[in-house]
Structure 1
């Protein structure tokens, strides 16, 4: 319950900050009610997810070798530039990361975190709550929002500035357990979504 209260408080602060950036005027009654409803929905979704969280706490994390079978040497038309696994082991997280790219400077970084164990289950619970919220924020050329991609609820980010280092990103949960994120450099969000749909994660099952 304490974790839930803290999470709600943090999300409430974030929501208020986004509103300040978007409009310095006082929020209307309808906007306030909408914000409360969004937080309430996220809290209810998290409660429903508690059973899965308890199950994940006692689940054995996947081995590093499994990640390597998922993050293979090539991904569609891109070649793997680097690969690391186990970097978050010191904080009790099982994870892996790979970057793919081509000679034109197009890059995709893929991160996978396992929700198994105490630390992993806490991370996935927070991600699940954030994704469950209906939100959208616009800051200059960057748009962040939650949306559904091929039936999968996700957080997305898209920057239309051609000089931006990170053009787009997608974060979602696979199989109620793994947090998966893709970051695109010189890749617009719509193109990154097509890569997301082609990412083969069945080895994690």
Structure 2
């Protein structure tokens, strides 16, 4: 009788152990092997599914460049043109950094160029820059009252150029580095001469 009891107890213990092993195996099946987890994580990172921590700061949240630095972008002489006036701080009340410069040809008082450079960083600067980018977004060719205007892509840069040949007035507008707005106006000169001025000043290389 005692032997039968021991035998039954042994059989029950073996059965319980087998069931426990099966449960453990099923639980382990649900746990991903470390190598597989690492490989899948690396794959998601490579595919761009993992959020990038160093995302570009929106322009409206950036601190504008100092006007002292921006002034250095306007050389004293550009070819035969000499800088006669330099103004900065005229948009400070709006929190916008901008500089203005007047240039005059050394041999002719009639030939003048006016340049404004505006930093689109900051709340209000980014609003003005966005408006400029909207103006430059679509290809345009028009002629209104003698003013010929063209908006197009030039060497990867969206450009607006205008010219009134009768009044000898020309203007160029573009945004550099998706941040800095350049507006260059020429008086008594042609559009091609204004582009030449811009090139010599290293504002843009068409």
**Matched residue of 2:178: which SS?**
coil
C-alpha RMSD of matched pairs (Å): 2.0
Counterparts of 1:6-155 in structure 2 under 5 Å?
55-102=58-105, 103-104=107-108, 105-155=110-160
Scaled by the length of structure 2, the TM-score of the pair is: 0.66
> Greater relative contact order: 1 or 2 (C-alpha under 8 angstroms, separation 6 or more)?
1
Render the CA deviation track for 1:38-70: whole Å, top value 9, x for unaligned.
xxxxxxxxxxxxx97x61111111111112211
Between the aligned partners of 1:185 and 1:60, the Cα distance in structure 2 is 34
Gaps of 5+ in 2: 1-54
Larger C-alpha radius of gyration, 1 or 2? 2
Task: Determine helix, strand or coil for the equivalent of 1:70.
Answer: coil
CA distance in 1, matches of 2:203, 2:153: 18
User: Normalized per residue, which structure has more helix?
Assistant: 1
Q: SS where residue 200 of structure 1 aligns?
A: coil
Offset from partner CA, 1:146-176 (integer Å, 9 cap, x none): 0233432111110011xx2x61000000111
CA distance in 1, matches of 2:156, 2:134: 17
Report Cα offsets for 1:45-96 as digits up to 9, x if no partner: xxxxxx97x6111111111111221112112221001010110111221100
CA distance in 2, matches of 1:98, 1:177: 19
Which piece of structure 1 moves more, 191-200 or 84-93? 191-200
The alignment status of 1:156 with 2:161, answered yes or no, reads yes
Q: For residues 107 and 182 of structure 1, do their structure 2 counterparts lie closer, same or farther at Cα, with a shift above 3 Å needed?
A: same
